[in-house]
């Protein structure tokens, strides 16, 4: 069983209340091969919500207390992102997931790139918080493009 970012299978759960529907990935859901998850919603954040970025590193740095996640209005939303990542991991463990397909560039789900924390659109190499937690827990993570 695999986990998948819910926005990739058509759920309008992104910060801007849109999805990133990928018909091929949606087919995996129809076949019962993936379990959709939105860590931000699981952490209690509303949809829509201000965009958020990791300040001071990537998801591993957030897990280790060296970085924070802040939304564009200046609110620290680290606790909500952590809670959502932990709930996503709990769900993954419950269903026996060994891998995940997560939305690239997201502060939760990015598997290779995240935004740099300046809200300027610049991306840097790194992973989102949920991706980092999954990886530390032995769950293989890849983006929708791989």
Instruction: List, for residues 93-117, the tens digit of each pLDDT value.
Output: 999 999 999 999 999 999 999 999 9
Position 36 scores a pLDDT of 97
**Nearest residue to 81 (alpha-carbon basis) of 102, 52, 116, 103:** 52
* Confidence bin at 145 (pLDDT 50/70/90): confident
Mean pLDDT of 109-134: 97
Strand residue runs (E) in the chain: 2-5, 34-37, 52-55, 68-71, 99-102, 113-115, 123-125, 140-143
Which ranges constitute the DSSP H helices of 38-142? Answer: 39-42, 59-63, 78-95, 129-136
The answer, yes or no, to whether the previous bond of 42 is cis (omega within 30 of 0) is: no
* Range from 19-33, 36-50, 129-143 carrying the lowest mean pLDDT: 19-33
* Sign (positive or negative) of CA dihedral 27, 29, 30, 33: positive
pLDDT tens, residue by residue, 33-79 = 999 999 999 999 999 999 999 999 999 999 999 999 999 999 999 99
Q: Is the pLDDT of residue 146 over 80?
A: no
Position 60 scores a pLDDT of 98
3-class SS of residue 81: helix
Q: Where are the domains of the chain?
A: 2-143
DSSP letter (8 states) at residue 105: B
Q: Compute the C-alpha angle 105/128/72, nearest 5°.
A: 70
pTM beyond 0.85: yes
3-class SS of residue 24: helix
Q: Is the pLDDT of residue 29 over 80?
A: yes
């Amino acid at each position: 069983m695999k986990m998948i970012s819910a926005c990739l299978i058509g759920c309008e759960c992104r910060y801007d209340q849109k999805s990133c529907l990928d018909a091929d990935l949606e087919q995996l859901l129809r076949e019962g091969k993936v379990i959709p998850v939105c860590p931000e919603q699981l952490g209690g954040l509303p949809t829509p919500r201000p965009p958020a970025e990791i300040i001071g590193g990537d998801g591993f740095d957030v897990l280790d207390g060296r970085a924070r996640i802040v939304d564009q209005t200046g609110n620290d939303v680290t606790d909500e992102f952590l809670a959502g990542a932990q709930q996503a991991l709990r769900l993954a463990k419950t269903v026996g997931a060994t891998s995940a397909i997560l939305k690239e560039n997201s502060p939760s789900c990015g598997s290779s790139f995240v935004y740099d924390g300046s809200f300027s659109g610049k991306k840097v190499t790194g992973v989102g918080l949920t991706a980092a937690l999954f990886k530390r827990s032995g769950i293989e993570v890849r983006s929708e493009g791989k």
